[in-house]
Amino acid sequence: MTGVLLKNELLAKYTSWRVGGPAEQMYLPEDKDDLIAFISKLPKSGKMFWLGLGSNLLVRDGGIQGTVINTRGRLKAMSMIDTNKVYVEAGVPCAHVARFCMGLGLTGAEFLAGIPGTMGGALKMNAGAFGGETWNIVETVEMINSRGQVSKRGVEAFEVAYRSVKGVEDEWFLAVELLLTKGESELSQQKIKDLLEQRALTQPTNKPTCGSVFKNPPGDYAARLIDASGLKGYVIGGACISEKHANFIENTGNATAADIETLIDYIQQQVQLQQGINLQTEVCKVGEPL
């Protein structure tokens, strides 16, 4: 094995909210083959959690027991495997995938430019932006289980819904083959430019956030419901509901994960009380409280 194994590594350094306690151990693989070798030697009863860019994630202040696999800057291979197919490993940032496909003259992946995470995270939650969803362009995925065994699965092996993907237990995403459409790079480039400009205008992209906190309920928007409940700018500790987009919570500089989780709970209570809607979280909450 040629990767790096860290003990009691503080996860706040690796999350977009800049909060989170320590990982019992964290592995930074050299590449996919190294990761497969590492996982195959882990105790079969050990817990494993995969971490990409740390967006859409709230790591509690007590941290994560077991092994955290950090794919950030790793598992970064991308290649064109057919005239309209692209192979992408799980650690590649979604924005890089959008630009790579654009450069190949392939369309359909432009929306990925608006997702602040890795391809692995996008596959795990069927991430979407600007009307596009990850699994709409998936043909096959490469999976690994806790024994280090690798398999290839088609879309039919998964139950895919809005911000939700259910598959085989005890498996994680290693890579994906995306099926796209031949188009014009200039049109894709303009579409990505327009999407990023819209994102910068409507979202607090320069603040520590996790992305959208809540799923949009059917026929409505979480941000509208939070705004209508008079919650924009509401603060608990170092956590604040964004004035720019109500479905974002900002770390104003000294927030703890507990501050953010308390604010999430408060938003849900108030929206239920005032709007009669039970908001479901999009953000994934993991780890132990202090």
Residues annotated as catalytic are: 163, 212, 282
Report d(CA 271, CA 231) in Å as an integer: 9
CA gap 102, 207 in Å, rounded: 28
First-to-last CA distance in the chain?
Answer: 33
Q: For residue 264, what are the CA distances in angstroms to 149, 213, 246, 260?
A: 38, 8, 12, 6
User: Measured on CA atoms in the order 33, 37, 40, 45, is the torsion positive or negative?
Assistant: negative
Distance CA 251, CA 45 (A): 35
Q: Give the sheet arrangement for strand 138-145, strand by strand.
A: 78-82, 85-89, 171-179, 138-145, 150-154
Pick the closest to residue 230 from 217, 243, 214 (CA basis): 243
> What DSSP assignment string belongs to 84-130?
TEEEEETTSBHHHHHHHHHHTTEES-GGGGG--SBHHHHHHHT-EET
82 within 8 A of 182, measured Cβ to Cβ: no
Question: What tokens does 20 get?
Answer: 């989170």
Collapse the DSSP code of 194 into the 3-class scheme (helix H, G, I; strand E, B; otherwise coil) and give the result.
helix
Tell me the C-alpha distance between 32 and 77, whole Å: 9
Q: Which SS3 state, helix, strand or coil, does residue 222 take? A: helix
